[in-house]
Amino acid sequence: MRARTPDGVLLGPAEVDPDAKPGYPGGKAEGEATLAAGAERLAQLQELLYANGVAGTGTAAGHDPSLLLVIQAMDTAGKGGIMRHVVGAMDPQGVQDAAFKAPTDEEKAHHFLWRVRPHVPQAGFVGVWDRSHYEDVLIHRVRGLTSLPEIEQRYAEIRDFEQELVAGGTRILKVMLHLSKDEQQGRLAERLDRPDKFWKYSPTDVDERAYWDEYMEAYGIAIAQTDTDHAPWYIVPANRKWYSRIAVQELLIGALEDLDLEWPPADFDVDAEKRRLAAS
Amino acid sequence: MRARTPDGVLLGPAEVDPDAKPGYPGGKAEGEATLAAGAERLAQLQELLYANGVAGTGTAAGHDPSLLLVIQAMDTAGKGGIMRHVVGAMDPQGVQDAAFKAPTDEEKAHHFLWRVRPHVPQAGFVGVWDRSHYEDVLIHRVRGLTSLPEIEQRYAEIRDFEQELVAGGTRILKVMLHLSKDEQQGRLAERLDRPDKFWKYSPTDVDERAYWDEYMEAYGIAIAQTDTDHAPWYIVPANRKWYSRIAVQELLIGALEDLDLEWPPADFDVDAEKRRLAAS
């Protein structure tokens, strides 16, 4: 699902079809079974990560691993569904969620990375960021909230920041849920048709649609500038919600499998403890 | 499931059978179906709470509601399973988890309520506390970490604190997962039999078993001292994990239903927005 051609050329959102389902030959019904099976596997792997963080066994590099999933998307692309159906399968005790909305005055008075740093997942945890520091090079570029030279500098600062996280033991996955403008129109229309969805709608959603092309361009530049081997971007087609969920789930599973973790060994005498327990 | 007799007399843990399944006539297989059906209902109700928090519609008292679930238990009673199978069914975006472990030096240097206050759920959110300020009257009483007169004062401080939360719009549920000492022995033994469970075991678990009766007494006193109409305690039998899960799920569902929330009305002109959207 990574937006790379086999020869390593990174594609931008313009080259990825939001209706596609790369890497998955099945249909929706089969996809639901895949998602359910994947949920169990993901929960197992996350427990293994957590166990290693709790036990403090350490990796070869001397740091216990953690995992950070960054999700960026246009409105209605399905972030909420990813949270419920993919992230929700993991033990909430080992997941550190953070949602980054419009910055507060205090956040604006700091460097743009200030507000995300406290949410870097600790060893053994999966951090999930619903929007992120990328807002500061996306909406900021599109709406001119920050000057272009400063935006350019931010790409470099983001690369350095993510490199620092990786050096600290955090594995990073960055996902753009890629929706088409037409599909967004349909999803917003549904919110206007259903009183139980009114609360999800804001008139600014329509205002933002006028900048769709500029957003896609800003995504393309941000992705090209910050896609690195240690913190790769994946452009996940999101017109089919069921597909985007199994795609993100698979990315999480793959990242956790790559850590190649084992259950931490006992740091006590198992037989002696069995005797103590039996007598207790 | 609340540990009250019909005439309102509060029972202590000593009067509640950990093997019981009050209020549920079915068996384990049926219980799993009940849990699955309840998960959908709980997720719906939690979305309704979240929608009201986001929309800021306000309750009659002028505060948007939130819900706080406090879970206390002896080790191996199944807190983790409650987190995964009950709490995990709700949208992680609207859930604020907090796990209170042994206090840090900084926490010890503050009033015992200092560390829990930042985790009070904001409007629209469900807060879930895995252990809580009750540790400061449970293990502190059992192990003599705090003097008895100060422990007595803490009960009053807890009542005041919880009253303050309720006044701020937070509904409170407090649950003791009630396990038997024998059942705990079996569960600890399983951890010692399985290398994938070693990480969950600590020799101090056996040390604590020597104080079992003192813990039950401390629970009984704490519950009697802090069970109030606005912040009730429920003693949930926990020898059958499947039962304790549906019991806690039912408590959450009941608390959310009692809020009697409705979907927030549109704060925009729906027809005008439909036209703007169609033209966008």
For tokens 């560390």, the residue is B115
Query: Please, which residues bridge with residue A254 across strands?
Result: none
A25 confidence band (pLDDT: 50, 70, 90): confident
DSSP code at position A136:
G
Collect all residues of chain A within an 8 Å Cβ-Cβ radius of residue B95. 92
Distance CA A4, CA A198 (A): 38
CB contact under 8 A, B91 and A88: yes
Judged by CB atoms closer than 8 Å, whether chains meet at B277 and A55 is answered as no
Three-state SS for A262? coil
Q: For A277, which of B55, B206, B270 is closest by C-beta distance?
A: B206
Among candidates A18, A23, A118, A28, which has minimal Cα distance to A76?
Answer: A18
How far does the CA of residue A157 sit from the closest CA of chain B (Å)? 28
Residues present in chain B in total: 280
Whether B91 sits inside 8 A of A84 (CB atoms) is: yes
Please tell me the predicted confidence (pLDDT) of residue A143.
96
Q: Do B199 and A55 touch (CB under 8 A)?
A: yes
Closest by CA to B88, choosing from B45, B39, B32, B129, is B39
DSSP E strands: which ranges in A126-210?
126-130, 170-178
- pLDDT of amino acid B57: 55
**Is the per-residue pLDDT at A62 higher than 80?**
no
pLDDT at B14 over 90: no
Identify which of A95, A3, A78 has the alpha carbon closest to the alpha carbon of residue A42: A95
pLDDT greater than 60 at residue A47: yes
Sequence-distant (6+) residues with CB within 8 A of A109 are none
CA distances from B256 to B1, B45, B68, B164 (A): 16, 6, 11, 20
pLDDT band at A60 (very low <50, low <70, confident <90, very high): very low
pLDDT confidence of residue A93: 84
Q: Which of A91, A203, A206 has the CB atom closest to B80's CB atom? A: A91
Residue A109 exposure: Cα atoms within 13 Å on the Cβ side: 3
Angle formed by the axes of helices A148-167 and A212-226, to 10°? Answer: 50
- Other C-beta atoms within 10 Å of B109: how many? 9
Partners of B40 on chain A (C-beta within 8 Å) are none
Question: What is the mean pLDDT of the segment spanning B11-36?
Answer: 87
**What's the 3-state SS for chain B?**
CCCECCCCCECCHHHCCCCCCCCCCCCHHHHHHHHHHHHHHHHHHHHHHHHHHHHCCCCCCCCCCEEEEEEEECCCCCHHHHHHHCHHHCCHHHEEEEECCCCCHHHHCCCCCCCCHHHCCCCCCEEEEECCHHHHHCHHHHCCCCCHHHHHHHHHHHHHHHHHHHHCCEEEEEEEEECCHHHHHHHHHHHHHCCCCHHHCCHHHHHHHCCHHHHHHHHHHHHHHHCCCCCCEEEEECCCHHHHHHHHHHHHHHHHHHHCCCCCCCCCCHHHHHHHHHCC
A118 touches chain B (CB under 8 A): no
Residue among A194, A198, A205, A261 with most chain B CBs within 10 A, to mutate: A198
Among the partner-chain residues B88, B209, B277, the one whose CB lies closest to the CB of A88 is: B88
The upper half-sphere exposure of residue A154, i.e. CA atoms within 13 Å in the direction of its Cβ, equals 21
- Whole-number Å distance between alpha carbons of B35 and B45: 15
User: Cβ B201–A273 below 8 Å, yes or no?
Assistant: yes
Provide the shortest C-alpha distance from residue A221 to chain B (in Å): 25
Could you tell me the pLDDT band of residue A21, with boundaries at 50, 70 and 90?
confident
pTM confidence score: 0.90
Name which of B21, B135, B20 is nearest B74 in CA terms. Answer: B135
* ipTM given for this complex: 0.85
- Contact of B213 with chain A, judged by CB distance below 8 Å, is answered with no
Q: How far apart are CA B162 and CA A117, in angstroms?
A: 32
Q: Report yes or no: B234 and B73 within 8 Å, Cβ to Cβ.
A: no
The alpha carbon of residue A55 is apart from the nearest alpha carbon of chain B, in Å, by 6
- Residue A98 carries which side chain, given as an amino acid letter? A
Q: Give the DSSP H/E element, type plus range, for residue A83.
A: helix A79-85
Residues of B in contact with A83 (CB under 8 A): 91-93
Rounded to an integer, the average pLDDT of B273-278 is: 97
Q: Which residues of A touch B266 (CB under 8 A)?
A: 195, 198, 201
Q: Which residue of B has its CA nearest to A98?
A: B93
pLDDT band at B1 (very low <50, low <70, confident <90, very high): very low
pLDDT tens column, A121-177: 999 999 999 999 999 999 999 999 999 999 999 999 999 999 999 999 999 999 999
pLDDT one-digit tens code per residue, B134-160:
999 999 999 999 999 999 999 999 999
Question: Which among A157, A165, A159 has a CA at the least distance from the CA of A111?
Answer: A157
Do A210 and B280 count as a contact with CB atoms less than 8 A apart? Answer: yes
Residue A275: count of CB within 10 angstroms of its CB: 11
* The pairing of beta strand B170-178 with beta strand B66-73: parallel
B95 touching A (Cβ < 8 Å)? yes
- Of A152, A139, A132, A137, nearest to A68 by C-alpha is A132
Instruction: Give B-chain residues touching A99 at CB under 8 angstroms.
Output: 93
Q: Using an 8 Å Cβ cutoff, are A123 and B128 in contact?
A: no
Contact B268 A80 (CB under 8 A): no
Contact flag A91-B88 (C-beta cutoff 8 Å)? yes
